[in-house]
Every structure is written in C-alpha cells, then in structure tokens.
Structure 1
Amino acid sequence: MSVRPRQLPLALETAIGYSIHDFVVTGPNSTAFKFLKSWPQWPSPLVVLAGREGSGKSHLAAIWAAQSFAVQFDKKRLDPAIEAASQGIPVLLEDMAPGCFDETELFHLINVVQQGQVNFPLGSLLMTSRLRPADWQIKLLDLASRLKAISLIEISPPDDALLNAIMAKLFADRQLVIESQLISYVLNRIERCPAKMIEFVKRVDRIALEQKSKITRQLVIDVLASMQMDTDPT
C-alpha cells in the first residue's frame, strides 16, 4: 500500500504590505489616517497613536514614516533617537508600554523634539501604544506632565466593513483566492480581531499548500475547528 507524500511548505512568513495603497480606510481608522497624512501640519510635533492589538497602528506608522522620512528606534535604548531628533530627523517609537523604556531618556527626547522646532520645523515624534499615555504608569512627574499635553489619536475597534476588507487583504497578500461568502462565514465564527484573522489565514495557506487544494468551505471549517481546539482548556 503506497502513501502519497504530502507537500511540506517552507515555514516562511508572507510579507504584509504596509504601503499607503494597502491600507483600508473606514470609519474606525479614518480620523487617525487623516491626522497622520496631515503631517507636517500637526498642532504639536508630539503624537501618540493608541489602539488595541491589530488595529492598524503599525501600518499607519509605516505610512507616516514613509511620508516624513522618519526613522524607527529601539524604545529600550533612546540615545540614538535623541541624537537623531537633535538633527531634526522625525522619530518613530513602536509599542510603548509600562516599563519598556527609560523615563528620563524619553523625557529628554520629548524636550529635544520640542526645543528643535525653531531650527527643525519638520522634527516630530510619533509613538504607538495599546494604551493611552495616562496608563503607562509613569513615575517621573516631569514626564507625566509632558505626556498629558501630547496629542493623542485613538483608533476605534474595527467595524464589519473593515474586518471584511482586512480579511480579504490578508488572503490577497498571500495570493490566495477565497469567495466573499466564505469570508463572512469565517467572521461570524472567529474572534473578531485582526490577530486571530492573521492566524486563521496563515493556517489556511499552509493547509491549502500541503493538500494542493483550493480554499473550500470544508477546508475553512477544518481550520476553524483546529483553532477552537487550540483555545479550549485541556
């Protein structure tokens, strides 16, 4: 009895497009999109973009960075960011959270950006976070005061139109074809957050490649079941 060998796909991540043309603008993210696109006509050179995981913060930040020629720096080591800001280079810090940065260094960075506006009017600082700055548990009072005055742009939770568009884009990024009815079927049976959607598409892609199969309703059902099994307590 012969056994047909499975095609084993390489464990490679498909790059998700982060260009402005890949971004889906709908109600929940339209305010943030318009604000970031308005750079350098910001009311303040200091901005925090807040939203839950998978809300599109990194995509929006990438769009702004491409527009402003900003440089992303490691939030755990801000000396290089301070040096860049002192030269008028726009700075991007991603995923700011309590305890992940040196408060004195961040305070210094903010001061450098603010004080450099005379000589470097394009100098800016954009920080992304799942939390508002008020929830960063800041101990340095001077920094807490600075953060209270910072421009805060929040991304609302995604609506149905955005979730459908995100799911369609995730499949398109992997050059996968799926019927729109199946996308609706999935969204009614999966946790409605982009992180889970990304995981779902990864699994569908892998299994479809292993089986050399189109994306069928049965394949979708099987992947949903496997994800449910992974989340159920043992």
Structure 2
Amino acid sequence: MTAARTRQLPLDWPHRPSMAREDIVVGDSNRLAVAALDAWPNWPHPVLYVHGPAGSGKSHLGAAWRAISGAARFSPGDALPAERPFAVLLDDLDRAGHSEAEIFALLNAARLGGGTVLVTARRAPGELKLATPDLASRLRAATTFTLGQPDEALLSGVLAKLFADRQIELDVKLLELMTRRMERSLDAARALAEALDRETLATKRRPTRQLVLDLLARMDDNAGALS
C-alpha cells in the first residue's frame, strides 16, 4: 500500500525582504525615480515627491533612500529636526495623518536650506485636498516623479529575486505564467512569493504549473472578497 503524501505545517518564520538600494529592480515604471534617488544629495530642489498606486514600490524607494542618506522618518507630531542639514522621509503623505502645519514647517525648513525631504504619496501634489495654499504651492514646486504600475519585465525581475532570496528554483515558464496572470503590483508579487514558499515547504515539492494556478486563483478570490 502506498503511503499517503503528508503535508507538513511550516514554521511561521517571518521572511523580511531586503529594502536596500541594490535590491531595487529597475524598469520603465520607476527608472526616473530611482535615478533621482541615486543623485542625492545633488537634487535640483530640496524636496523630492514620488507618487504612485499601492504596490508600485514607494516604500522600497523610501527605505533605500533612508539607508543611503541616514534620513529620519517623519511621524505625525514630530518636531523639526535639530540637526542641519537634515534628511527626512515623509512617507505616505496622503494617509499618514500629518497636520498641514507640521508638513509646511518641514518643507519650508528644507526650502530655506535646512536639508532635504523625500515625500511619498499615492496622489500627485495637484490632487491633494489642502486647506493651506502655501503648502500646496510648496508641494507643487517639488521635483515630482510618478511610479506607474510595474510591467511584465519589472514583475519578472522582482519575482525572480524574491524566489532567489527564498532559495526556490523556479522554471522560466512558471515565471512567465505568473507575470502574465497576476495583479500588476509589487505587493502582489511579494504575496505570491510568500504563498508559494509556504506551499513548497508544507508539501516538500517543487513548484508546479497547477500549484501556481491554484495560488493565483486563491489570490484573485481573496482580492474579490475584499473589494
């Protein structure tokens, strides 16, 4: 009698992907923003504003810039940095809960030669609903870059790196299948890599086409349930 294949429960060790600059996969959707990050501190304007949809790579860019510049993360209620020149990351501007007064004070200090600020947001400066005209003006004056949805080439590069980090050998055809059928976001790429890692650890089997299709269908169902 053939023994049934057992499924093991993998230990839930958190996998923390590297957010270093060298781990940013560059493609058409982020090339200009990455070049601007690399040019620091020689920015033409002290404020760099990067915006794009969820999963477009804003958080990775912000984390990489912090590692390069030693920037502090600016949280709601924080006082202006005492050191000059300062480097500050103002992440997720349109969702983080900052007051307009503290944002204006930070940007104004940078404009007056105090330092540099990287701002990330989902919306462009002109799409923000601001009650402070001077703040709106400061943001519109910033050097602005838009992150688009990643194309297949960028998704393929990101997935290849995610699987290499997890020591998962993946057939090129499976990688092509993923990039054709998955949601076009870096968050989705990370979620897919984590799900495949879990399944291969649990079953002790190499990734297959059917497993990939099942995981993609499950992710689509979960996305539909949340929408």
Q: Same fold (TM over 0.5)?
A: yes
CA contact (8 A) 2:200 2:206 kept: yes
Match of 2:78 in 1: 78
Task: Supply the distance in 1 between the matched residues of 2:166 and 2:150 (Cα, whole angstroms).
Answer: 22
Report deviation, 1:99. 7.2
Q: Residue 85 of structure 2: which of 88, 95, 104 is its match?
A: 88
Write out per-residue CA displacement over residues 104-140 of structure 1, whole angstroms, 9 at most, x where no aligned residue.
111111122222x2xx5xx201111111122221111
Write out per-residue CA displacement over residues 171-209 of structure 1, whole angstroms, 9 at most, x where no aligned residue.
122221111110111222222222222222211111111
Match of 2:94 in 1: 97
Match of 2:141 in 1: 149
How has the CA–CA distance of structure 1 residues 65 and 146 changed in structure 2, closer, same or farther, with 3 Å as cutoff? same
Report deviation, 1:157. 2.5
Match of 1:170 in 2: 162
Match of 2:132 in 1: 140
Would you say 1:33 and 2:31 are equivalent positions?
no
Report deviation, 1:226. 2.3
Which residue identity lines up with residue 58 of structure 1 in the other structure? S
Secondary structure of the residue aligned to 1:28 is coil
Which residue identity lines up with residue 73 of structure 1 in the other structure? F
Task: Supply the distance in 2 between the matched residues of 1:91 and 1:174 (Cα, whole angstroms).
Answer: 32
Which residue identity lines up with residue 111 of structure 1 in the other structure? N
Task: Supply the distance in 2 between the matched residues of 1:28 and 1:233 (Cα, whole angstroms).
Answer: 28
Matched pairs, number = 225
Which residues of structure 1 form unaligned runs of 5+? none
Report deviation, 1:145. 1.9
Report deviation, 1:232. 4.7
Would you say 1:112 and 2:104 are equivalent positions?
no
How has the CA–CA distance of structure 1 residues 164 and 10 changed in structure 2, closer, same or farther, with 3 Å as cutoff? same
Which residue identity lines up with residue 50 of structure 1 in the other structure? H
Report deviation, 1:71. 1.5
Q: Give me the TM-score of the superposition, normalised by structure 2.
A: 0.89
Q: How does 1:124-135 map to 2 (within 5 A)?
A: 124-135=116-127
Task: Supply the distance in 2 between the matched residues of 1:151 and 1:91 (Cα, whole angstroms).
Answer: 15
Match of 1:190 in 2: 182
Q: How does 1:210-221 map to 2 (within 5 A)?
A: 210-221=202-213
Which residues of structure 2 form unaligned runs of 5+? none
**Once the two structures are aligned, what percentage of the paired residues are identical?**
37
Task: Supply the distance in 2 between the matched residues of 1:197 and 1:47 (Cα, whole angstroms).
Answer: 26
Match of 2:9 in 1: 8
Would you say 1:62 and 2:54 are equivalent positions?
no
